[in-house]
Structure 1
Amino acid sequence: MSYSPHSAAIQLASASRGFDHLFANEISSAKKVFNSESDPFHLVGAGCLSFLEASLGLEASKMTEATRLLALAEAGSRNALKAAAKSKTKASAAFPPGLEYEIANADTVVLLGITHALSESYMGYLQCIYAMNSAHGKFSKLYKTVFPNGLDSHTTSPPLTPFSWTPSVTPSPADSPAVTPKTSSSNLSLEPPVSSAISKKSARPPAKQSSSSFFGLASRWTSGTSTSASSSTSFLSPPTPTSISSMTEAGNSEEIQNLKNLIIAGTAFGFGLFNLVFSLLPKRVQSVAGLFGFAHSRRLALQALAVSAGYAAEGEVHGVFAGLVLMTYHGAVLLVSGYQADEARIIREYESVVSGIEARYPKGALWILNRAKILRMTYDPEGAIRVLKAGLEETKEDAANEHGEGFKQADTLLVFELAWIYLSQRQYAESAEAFIKLTELNSWSHGTYYFIAAGCHISLALSDGVSHEEKEKYLDKAQELLDAIPNLLDKRKVGGKDLPTEVLIKKKLAFYKEKQKLQGGDERNFARCIRISPAEELGIFWNNHNRISPSNAEVHIREWSALQPPVGIDSPYMSRPITTSSTSPDLDTPDELALRLLLLGIAHRSIGCVGLRIKDSLPPTEPASSSSSYVETPDSAPESIVDSPSLPLPSSEDINQYTGNASACLRASRELLSAAHALQPSIKVSTWIGGLAMFELAVLDLKEVEVEEKEEKAKGDSVPSELSVDLKKRWQTALKSARAKLDVAMALAPNSVDLSSRLDSRVAMLRDEIGMKAEIIDVTL
């Protein structure tokens, strides 16, 4: 077949319509568009849709289909690229012919690699590296061609500052790792994406647009200053043309511009995603990746994704996906890193990304999900619940109105998020119902869902004020769910191997049975020996207790500390167990004692840091029902945040109560976490506790000094942008201490420890935040 830029542009416009349907949850329409043609763009669309279904649902059958379709797309794009290479016709003097097909080919290679990594197993990670090995050369070549002078040459913003959204000054390609090609002396002339529609022959139906461009507020991302949404100095704005007249193009100029947008945004997206994936792999896997000559720069990855996301306002597919990746990354950092060097900045960036895509695709489940996550991260769980429930209700209405097949896997994520928020709110009945609902929506680990749901029923049984009849009912239901788990776990999962979570669950079931047997009880009723909910235990891995309300943390503390034997560490919220001569200990193994200490340490830290929420948390955009709220909005906040209601907070009396006990809670937290770590040599089953306890101590080191910094700024003892000499020294000490604790945590979490790869990723994120804070305050570690 011969290469024609005009034909390629027509194919691209048609496939882009399919992606518009995909992003709007109209899966049937998307599939119809992607299946209508067999060119590389439509093949990539079909493969990408299947990949999203597989990755979001973690379903083995979907992953197999995604692999098949992506392989077809890879072969199709490779053949189209070969045909283009033989042609003398090219879209632009700036790019060689067929470069758009090389982008499509690289897309498929990366997606195939990520599919392997979804298992969260080290073998899956290694398969990911092997698959991506072929992408290494592709991205190096693409980057050299499209960005010969580096990414900074494609922004018109001022130089990045330590407070910019990518920490400190972004390294130039010449200084970045091996995966980053060196700059060349050539100059690339680029036009910004055109805002007008393309020719009627290839025009896409307009998605619902807002009056402002997608990243209209993104100018704050770089300078931290308030500017107009249409400012030409936005970091995420596409590059300003430097020598457009030097370009000679074949075919319709608007069609060619779309191809060029694809090339620029696609290269930036692929390069950014490639670097980001490697930066998030466990360190042990990264060391293996080094054998292939790989290295990574997370800063450069985030900058590249931001450049790509600048094209999302024009509906460029890679730009939208770049926005989704940025959302996912921001959400992950806020959820599991434990500490953020500049939380307010991250939330502003997250808010900007979500608002832009949400405006274009208001019914898309992925954007609804991230809106809810922002609310949850800004301490408005009730607002998050409202958003999620409204989104799920809208999905039902669309199905009833014959909109066709919805995006079931994305809708499933709404239920998943809702289940965890219910759990954090101690709404155990609702949480259990949501986790069981997940078994009807996807084929991922039903055993995990049952385990958590059983834990919710145990929590209900252990709650105060429950009658004997209700307690028995909850325990019977918990036992029923626990009994069903072994058969569910026997169903092989991704790659024919047990998921890491399922490995942990098998060990816990055996542990409970042994405990019940040693206590002389009926092994068939082992749920009755459980004193700490399995749901709360698994919640540790999702960091589900970090952003709970102080009142919920207090209830947790009183319940866990009421168990025998006494904790032996005092705090304002500890209960004293009721003892009698015949009382047998509720917790009689080092595993249980260490687990209680770990949970208590996290809950105490949550209360101790409650003061941080008063002046530094940013408000959500969802209307708040609380009348007693106060947030001091930074001058640099985007309009959507400035104009939004204040963040709901506990009443002033409650805030004063918890703030007054903050120091005591932080002290207790350190003692409790240290005690949990000290029990590590005695732990038989839950060998992950020691490493996580040390990780949480590292977070505590940072949180304690953060409290001091907020207090100093509140008193006005220093210039707002500067720290006192003493506080700077405290930060330096804390940063070094936290980094050392992370080394200990990793030493306690070898491959044999349950969910060690998850801890590895959390450690990597926290290390980045430590490094960023050191740069912000200008200290050497």
Structure 2
Amino acid sequence: MKRLGGLLGAKASLSTSKSLTALDEPAAYVERAEAELSKGTSPFHKLGLSTALFLRAVLGFEKEVMEKAQACLNDAEETASEHQRRAIRDPTKAHQSKIYNAGAEYALCHAESQLMSAVVAVLNESLTESLKGFYKLRKAFTTLHDISEQERRYLERTGKGPSSSQASLASSSAGGLQTPAQSSGNLTPQSVDDDDDDEFVDAQESTSDFVAPPPAYAGGPEHRDMEKLSLEETLDKKLDPSVTPNGAATDSKATVEAVDQDLDFRTVTSDPIDLFIHSGTSLCFGLLQLLLSIIPPAFSKLLSLFSFRGDREAGMRMLWSATRFKHNINGAMAGLITLGFYNGAVAFCDILVKGAVPETRLRSLLREMRELYPGSKLWILEEARMLGADKKLEKAVEVVGQASDSGLKQINALRLFERSLNLMYLKSYEESAKGFIQCIDMNSWSHGMYYYIAGASYVELYRLHKESDRKLADSYAVQADKYLHIVPQHVGKKGFMGRQLPFDVFVGRKIKKWDHRAEKMNCSFVDAVGVSPIEEMTYFWSGFRRMNDDQLRTSLERLAWSENVRLNPHWDTEASDEKAILALLKATCYRFLREIPQAKTTIVDSVLSHELAELKACEFPDSWPLPVAHYEMAVCHWIEAGGQDGDRAMLQRSSDELLKVERWESYELEARVGLKITTGRQTLRKCGVASR
């Protein structure tokens, strides 16, 4: 059988019998891996095939692929559950482990299948399917916790000490029921009276297509009722080394040292199945903690139904632990998730403690993964993202552009999308537009967004040549009009959690706004477009952070077009919301140019000087600049304070500004800045700055 381990590195590894013993099989590309894995019927074959399909689904967001992945995952769940039952009924025929109870490897396969199934369900356009997905998360957590308990007990019996990865997640004492007030803020299965498997039921709905999860993994006579388990004490004291017995937080240096001293499980056992179980549990727990810690606030009520809350730091420690096992699927997945999270999310947050992004460790991980899996394009994509974070946009474009095509069109689409974004930041508008149009043939998820950015790029080209070459400018105007008016045909067709995608709502309103302005001002559509939509997109995609000083100054020049009454005679009578957008974007450029006083003055005088009611009174209004301006002020205060060890009064002002954004009513594209706000609040709390 081919290896499951390197699916992310275009390889796969599996066992030929009841255990994972074949660790050095030849490599195969994903397509061949899928073909080979389809021939087998073991839980490992089906988990491997499901993982390959899952990757296709989450990389491309294509409905037909998601449906196929979901069906395969359901099959993998059932198969793993059946093998688990066999192992428990007759342990003599199961893998003999000194650490885990009979059938633990199948229980892990079952939990991993449930987790992937839950993610696919949440990505589905149905709210009901999403609810079922969260229910599966809960059941998977129960299984994973039971496996980790077995590991913890073994470490205690042998005197090897607790692992600060998933093993120490388990508590040696069963507490009472945990109420919301008692929650430690960690990933916790809170219980209610008489909690059982029937807690979640879709009222008056046929459940014929709902595959009920199997019973929680019992594993042996020591199993306890996981639904009645409280993890508060353990999560506070054992999982998080930065928390002392009295609940007080120690400094971040102690936490880093604790992570570095994390037990390497390879010193505990050399059994390949045991290592697979350990690394898989670390991966799954880590991913659960991470995902649930960054869920947008809008989902908080939904998650409360399942009593889950995440802990980002704990999740990252578990994922780092799993990356030690780079030769199997768990380590490869953990590496991809870790790099993706830092390069695609945390790297673009503004309020962070020193060392929040472990750059040296990340570079080392990326180097090791590229050496281990040289044929994989996902690691090249992560390298490009890392270069972008280093403000080396030209190099990032070069790295992605020179790589050969992947066998997966979803990965090729991701690379093209990343390249096109970087070209947008570099002001290579025509090449960027062509790249986004190419994405349409490679990905079915958000054609409206691709057309919108392409059209906005041609708007910028029109403005650049309007005075110098009118004929060329007019040709760009035609392209802008064409692509922007295609956008409404492609918005509203996709959904998330049963709701229209926020970006679709945003761009749909923008097109209506510009059509209305063209009629009202008696001008062409392209002349009715407001403040640079490309610079606006650059803000929402954190592009200003990737730019060097020269590129930021060029952005200021492009923004200045709107205020030039010779080029834009409508500016003097422009609506308040457009003037607020312009001021906010300029202030952000000033901030990244380290001109903090200028940034603050611009925000106060030209954004916060407007009332929310005033902006809402505009036609097809953009009201988002006001809440986002409070976030930008928070960042300015953080920088002026000198960061985590700076002026306390200024840090408090930063916290107060963030609190204003948190309490703000819903606004367009809030999810694009939501993670930054959440991270900023967490950072300030660690600095001892409390909310007022």
Q: Does 1:604 align with 2:590?
A: yes
In the TM superposition, 1:668-747 aligns within 5 A as: 668-671=601-604, 674-675=607-608, 678=611, 681-683=614-616, 684=618, 685-706=621-642, 728=645, 730=647, 732-747=648-663
Contact 1:308–1:322 (Cα < 8 Å) also in 2: yes
How far has the Cα of 1:285 moved from its partner? 2.1
Aligned to 1:154: 163
CA distances 1:426-484 after superposition (whole Å, capped 9, x unpaired)? 11111111111101111111111000000001111112664111111111111011122
CA distances 1:366-402 after superposition (whole Å, capped 9, x unpaired)? 10011111111011111111111111xx227xxxxxx
User: Which among 71, 96, 101 is matched to residue 96 of structure 1?
Assistant: 101
Contact 1:143–1:271 (Cα < 8 Å) also in 2: no
How far has the Cα of 1:519 moved from its partner? 0.4
In 2: Cα distance, 1:771 partner to 1:123 partner: 36
Q: Which of 341-350 and 355-364 deviates more?
A: 341-350
Q: Does 1:595 align with 2:581?
A: yes
In 2: Cα distance, 1:233 partner to 1:282 partner: 27
Aligned to 1:412: 413
Cα 1:182–1:766 change in 2 (3 A) is: closer
Q: Which amino acid aligns with 1:769?
A: T
**Secondary structure, in 3 states, of the residue corresponding to 1:154?**
coil
Gaps of 5+ in 2: 1-13, 166-182, 190-229, 235-252
Aligned to 2:120: 115
User: Which among 170, 174, 178 is matched to residue 188 of structure 2?
Assistant: 178
Q: Which amino acid aligns with 2:106?
A: Y
User: Which among 330, 341, 344 is matched to residue 329 of structure 1?
Assistant: 341
Contact 1:265–1:319 (Cα < 8 Å) also in 2: yes
How far has the Cα of 1:329 moved from its partner? 1.2
**Secondary structure, in 3 states, of the residue corresponding to 2:405?**
helix
Aligned to 1:540: 539
Q: How many residue pairs are counted as aligned between the two chains?
A: 595
In 2: Cα distance, 1:71 partner to 1:16 partner: 29
In 1: Cα distance, 2:50 partner to 2:384 partner: 28
How far has the Cα of 1:105 moved from its partner? 0.7
How far has the Cα of 1:178 moved from its partner? 2.7
Cα 1:44–1:749 change in 2 (3 A) is: farther
How far has the Cα of 1:52 moved from its partner? 0.9
Q: Does 1:479 align with 2:481?
A: yes
Aligned to 1:379: 391
How far has the Cα of 1:271 moved from its partner? 0.9
How far has the Cα of 1:491 moved from its partner? 4.2
In 1: Cα distance, 2:650 partner to 2:511 partner: 39
Gaps of 5+ in 1: 1-5, 157-172, 185-220, 226-231, 245-253, 397-405, 565-576, 609-661, 710-726
Cα 1:75–1:10 change in 2 (3 A) is: closer
User: Which among 369, 380, 398 is matched to residue 381 of structure 2?
Assistant: 369
In 2: Cα distance, 1:174 partner to 1:748 partner: 25
Cα 1:290–1:142 change in 2 (3 A) is: farther
Contact 1:236–1:306 (Cα < 8 Å) also in 2: no
In 2: Cα distance, 1:73 partner to 1:534 partner: 46
Aligned to 1:32: 35
In 2: Cα distance, 1:297 partner to 1:71 partner: 28
Aligned to 1:425: 426
Aligned to 1:617: none
Aligned to 1:49: 52
Cα 1:382–1:469 change in 2 (3 A) is: same
Cα 1:728–1:339 change in 2 (3 A) is: closer
Cα 1:539–1:322 change in 2 (3 A) is: same
Contact 2:634–2:658 (Cα < 8 Å) also in 1: yes
In 2: Cα distance, 1:558 partner to 1:318 partner: 48
In 1: Cα distance, 2:301 partner to 2:538 partner: 30
Cα 1:673–1:762 change in 2 (3 A) is: farther
CA distances 1:726-768 after superposition (whole Å, capped 9, x unpaired)? x9451x3333222222221122242xx3233343333222223
Q: RMSD in angstroms over aligned alpha carbons?
A: 3.5
CA distances 1:71-98 after superposition (whole Å, capped 9, x unpaired)? 1111111111111111223421211011
Q: Which amino acid aligns with 2:41?
A: S
In 1: Cα distance, 2:232 partner to 2:24 partner: 32
How much identity, in percent, do the aligned residues show? 21
CA distances 1:658-704 after superposition (whole Å, capped 9, x unpaired)? xxxx3554444543674376556423432322222222222222223
How far has the Cα of 1:336 moved from its partner? 3.8
Cα 1:517–1:561 change in 2 (3 A) is: same
Q: Which amino acid aligns with 1:767?
A: R
In 2: Cα distance, 1:691 partner to 1:93 partner: 56
Scaled by the length of structure 1, what TM-score is found? 0.70
Contact 1:456–1:533 (Cα < 8 Å) also in 2: no
Cα 1:125–1:328 change in 2 (3 A) is: farther
In 2: Cα distance, 1:602 partner to 1:416 partner: 24
In 2: Cα distance, 1:146 partner to 1:423 partner: 50
Cα 1:695–1:519 change in 2 (3 A) is: same
In 2: Cα distance, 1:589 partner to 1:49 partner: 50
Contact 1:11–1:39 (Cα < 8 Å) also in 2: no
Cα 1:487–1:666 change in 2 (3 A) is: closer
Q: Does 1:340 align with 2:352?
A: yes
Aligned to 1:460: 461
**Secondary structure, in 3 states, of the residue corresponding to 2:345?**
helix
Contact 1:144–1:182 (Cα < 8 Å) also in 2: no
Scaled by the length of structure 2, what TM-score is found? 0.78
Contact 1:457–1:477 (Cα < 8 Å) also in 2: yes
Aligned to 1:634: none
Cα 1:605–1:679 change in 2 (3 A) is: farther
Q: Which amino acid aligns with 2:684?
A: I
How far has the Cα of 1:47 moved from its partner? 1.2
Cα 1:329–1:296 change in 2 (3 A) is: same
Q: Does 1:292 align with 2:306?
A: yes
In 2: Cα distance, 1:7 partner to 1:441 partner: 34
Aligned to 2:529: 530
Cα 1:11–1:484 change in 2 (3 A) is: farther
Q: Does 1:67 align with 2:70?
A: yes
Contact 2:127–2:498 (Cα < 8 Å) also in 1: no
In 1: Cα distance, 2:163 partner to 2:583 partner: 51
**Secondary structure, in 3 states, of the residue corresponding to 1:703?**
helix
User: Which among 278, 281, 289 is matched to residue 267 of structure 1?
Assistant: 281
Cα 1:729–1:425 change in 2 (3 A) is: closer
CA distances 1:639-668 after superposition (whole Å, capped 9, x unpaired)? xxxxxxxxxxxxxxxxxxxxxxx3554444
In 2: Cα distance, 1:121 partner to 1:766 partner: 32
In 1: Cα distance, 2:340 partner to 2:378 partner: 10
Contact 2:590–2:598 (Cα < 8 Å) also in 1: yes
Cα 1:672–1:233 change in 2 (3 A) is: closer
In 1: Cα distance, 2:390 partner to 2:398 partner: 15
How far has the Cα of 1:539 moved from its partner? 2.6
CA distances 1:459-518 after superposition (whole Å, capped 9, x unpaired)? 111126641111111111110111222223364456775322111111111111111111
**Secondary structure, in 3 states, of the residue corresponding to 2:593?**
helix
Cα 1:91–1:424 change in 2 (3 A) is: same
Contact 1:447–1:502 (Cα < 8 Å) also in 2: yes
**Secondary structure, in 3 states, of the residue corresponding to 1:341?**
coil
Contact 1:40–1:104 (Cα < 8 Å) also in 2: yes
Contact 1:595–1:676 (Cα < 8 Å) also in 2: no
**Secondary structure, in 3 states, of the residue corresponding to 1:563?**
helix
Aligned to 2:247: none
In 2: Cα distance, 1:444 partner to 1:265 partner: 32
Cα 1:9–1:337 change in 2 (3 A) is: farther
Aligned to 2:405: 395
**Secondary structure, in 3 states, of the residue corresponding to 2:579?**
helix
